Chains A and B, each alone.
Chain A
């Protein structure tokens, strides 16, 4: 079950399940089923590292992040952050421990109260945790704004007066106000323009280096996840399909789902785009309220066998630091096909690495701005 058995894990998640009941009826409602948003996942994150979590919409990435932070009460499983068993705390203890773990939200528009000024938004965490000295709070707010690259005069403004990237920085400042050790970044850049994404990602990387933060970085963009993560977990319908170091995963994608994701990532390279090898999946992601039996990916997997529809594959470590949940990766009948398809996808991607635009953007402005 464990992915690495890493003793130095800072965040440790074991057998986490998050099911949402589906109910019917008004006053006397009864449960008629459950959405298995997260279904028995385990992973570790060492201190100061980033675990990337990728997968398609609705596969349970956000739910995982929220259950880990206990914004939801998990159905089963345990979460340990540092030496604190989060899943065993009472509500009261939990409130006191909240500063250690924070979240940066996908939608910076809805995650900032439209009626509060930036000063109030960034100061709120301090106030909640009982910092009452107005001058100190003010100073800390200024310091935080500076940390994320905003000006002190922005304090009086309201969220709608900022661009998406700036709002995301306000969200980051707020999340960092209490000096957290662990931050869940839930698609912090998905809603931003490409030219702004880089600003936010660079900021997150810099903050990790300077403050020793540990991240769970959620995204659906494989290339961005690769850029920021030390290790990457690929999720599908509430389960982790594959987990490996970022370079290992991209050299050696073993799970057919990972391969199809990699082959679908658009590459800004016309030659590669037109010639690359792809696994085009059939159909759409099934509903988590009614997942397929056996391997949840079996309905769309090009390599699925009869066994896949029967048996749930357990994550197995097949290479150092590389776990895969698939029956077939070492099944003599299809293993070679899977390996070959992965190889083709990787080599067509490597072509992209060899070419590229002949000019690069000189980030540092001569004037010394930014």
Chain B
């Protein structure tokens, strides 16, 4: 099966007064129809920038998509998102690819009713008009679990709570039956109890409607409950990718291992939490070595000299797994030469 979205070697830079920020340094990923891909990593690791640049939603300038391709294969064709014109992009954005942001208040217009905002996006992308569009909007509100949708249709954003606004954002994102929804930390600003409601809703919607979801988060707990595959980012690169069951049980990149260890457990006492000492890499120079090397307990010479490609370490069970680490954590020794490199990272193969 071909992935519905296939990103290859994406590089994004920002030109600032301080120098060039190498925000995304060669991100590749596959997203399959109907699956949810979790993207985790710490603040500044390039999660938002890499996903938003696919929709050309980063400010340009200072942002600059330096290279890469993003093949998007909806039912109707096969196109490269990064080489689309402004017009064509506008036709895809909000239509074939929906998006949800962290802060729903700033993405909703405070002067328009909730209903009008949903209807507007329906009318922009479909042939539905007036009463028909209105019916669809009410149906969407109902679908995302807003009680009494007919009455709520006429409310303004400030009359909604944070959780309900996020539901409205979801309604807008799915209004045109998109193939993909990109959700950038949609629950970070919400309370855990409300977050649980939203996660539950998204799980149901994506299963019912067959939407592929890219769910950006910094919380390994949240994505565990929603994602099929997980992409771990560090310093603008992908350090590990794999099926969630595989990845949480057998993490094979030191950073992922550290992240999992840094979370306190709900039912075990620990003396001390795992402390990943040091700070994330500066992005002012292009990576020439493993970005995690300064903080990595397994680091050795090779890590200093070149940046590791994503090695294919998929287990026999058939699930996918790849790790960008020079150290082979399965055998506990530096990676033997001749190791296969994940298919999408072929050009970088240096072993």
- Show the binding face of A for B, using Cβ within 8 Å: 56-57, 163-166, 193-199, 201-202, 205, 220, 222-224, 226-227, 247, 250, 260-274, 278, 280-281, 284-285, 349-350, 352-353, 355-366, 369-370
- Show the binding face of B for A, using Cβ within 8 Å: 42-43, 161-164, 191-197, 199-200, 218-222, 224-226, 244-245, 248-252, 254, 257-270, 272-280, 297-298, 329
B219 and chain A: residue at smallest CB distance: A266
Q: Are A352 and B266 touching (Cβ within 8 A)?
A: yes
B248 and chain A: residue at smallest CB distance: A270
Min CB gap B275→A, angstroms: 5
Contacts of B257 in A (CB 8 A): 357, 359-361
Contacts of B196 in A (CB 8 A): 263-264, 278, 280
Q: Are A273 and B221 touching (Cβ within 8 A)?
A: yes
Given the complex of chains A and B, what is the CA–CA distance between A60 and B262 in angstroms?
A: 28
Q: Are B250 and A357 touching (Cβ within 8 A)?
A: yes
Q: Are B266 and A284 touching (Cβ within 8 A)?
A: no
Given the complex of chains A and B, what is the CA–CA distance between A205 and B221 in angstroms?
A: 24
Contacts of A370 in B (CB 8 A): 275, 277-278
Q: Are B225 and A270 touching (Cβ within 8 A)?
A: yes
Given the complex of chains A and B, what is the CA–CA distance between A202 and B277 in angstroms?
A: 11
With A268-B224, A361-B274 as known contacts, state yes or no: A220 contacts B267, CB within 8 Å.
Answer: no
Could you list 7 A-B pairs, sorted by A, with CB under 8 Å? A165-B279, A201-B273, A265-B192, A355-B249, A358-B249, A363-B274, A370-B277
Given the complex of chains A and B, what is the CA–CA distance between A224 and B273 in angstroms?
A: 10
Given the complex of chains A and B, what is the CA–CA distance between A202 and B252 in angstroms?
A: 25
Q: Are A227 and B270 touching (Cβ within 8 A)?
A: yes
5 closest A-B pairs (Cβ-Cβ)?
A: A266-B221, A273-B225, A227-B264, A370-B277, A198-B273
Contacts of A280 in B (CB 8 A): 193, 196-197, 200
Given the complex of chains A and B, what is the CA–CA distance between A355 and B245 in angstroms?
A: 11
B222 and chain A: residue at smallest CB distance: A266
Q: Are B225 and A363 touching (Cβ within 8 A)?
A: no
Min CB gap A116→B, angstroms: 22
Min CB gap B170→A, angstroms: 16
Q: Are B193 and A261 touching (Cβ within 8 A)?
A: yes
A272 and chain B: residue at smallest CB distance: B224
Q: Are B297 and A365 touching (Cβ within 8 A)?
A: yes
Q: Are A199 and B261 touching (Cβ within 8 A)?
A: no
Given the complex of chains A and B, what is the CA–CA distance between A369 and B297 in angstroms?
A: 10
Q: Are B277 and A284 touching (Cβ within 8 A)?
A: no
Contact partner of A264 (CB less than 8 A), chosen from B162, B192, B245, B272, is: B192
Contacts of A198 in B (CB 8 A): 262, 273-276
Contacts of A261 in B (CB 8 A): 192-193
Given the complex of chains A and B, what is the CA–CA distance between A269 and B221 in angstroms?
A: 7
Q: Are A205 and B197 touching (Cβ within 8 A)?
A: no
Min CB gap A290→B, angstroms: 14
Q: Are A205 and B272 touching (Cβ within 8 A)?
A: yes
Contacts of B260 in A (CB 8 A): 268, 356-357
Which interface residue of A199, A226, A263, A269 has the most chain B CB atoms within 10 A?
A269
With A266-B222, A280-B196 as known contacts, state yes or no: A361 contacts B258, CB within 8 Å.
Answer: yes
Q: Are B259 and A195 touching (Cβ within 8 A)?
A: yes
Q: Are A194 and B267 touching (Cβ within 8 A)?
A: no
Contacts of B265 in A (CB 8 A): 223, 352-353, 356
A166 and chain B: residue at smallest CB distance: B279
Contacts of B254 in A (CB 8 A): 361
Min CB gap A235→B, angstroms: 12
A164 and chain B: residue at smallest CB distance: B43
B297 and chain A: residue at smallest CB distance: A362
Q: Are B42 and A357 touching (Cβ within 8 A)?
A: no
Given the complex of chains A and B, what is the CA–CA distance between A364 and B297 in angstroms?
A: 7
Given the complex of chains A and B, what is the CA–CA distance between A218 and B116 in angstroms?
A: 40
B261 and chain A: residue at smallest CB distance: A361
Q: Are A260 and B297 touching (Cβ within 8 A)?
A: no
Given the complex of chains A and B, what is the CA–CA distance between A192 and B134 in angstroms?
A: 42
Which interface residue of B195, B218, B279 has the most chain A CB atoms within 10 A?
B279
A350 and chain B: residue at smallest CB distance: B267
Q: Are B191 and A57 touching (Cβ within 8 A)?
A: yes
Given the complex of chains A and B, what is the CA–CA distance between A355 and B250 in angstroms?
A: 11
Contacts of A260 in B (CB 8 A): 193
B296 and chain A: residue at smallest CB distance: A365
Given the complex of chains A and B, what is the CA–CA distance between A194 and B258 in angstroms?
A: 10
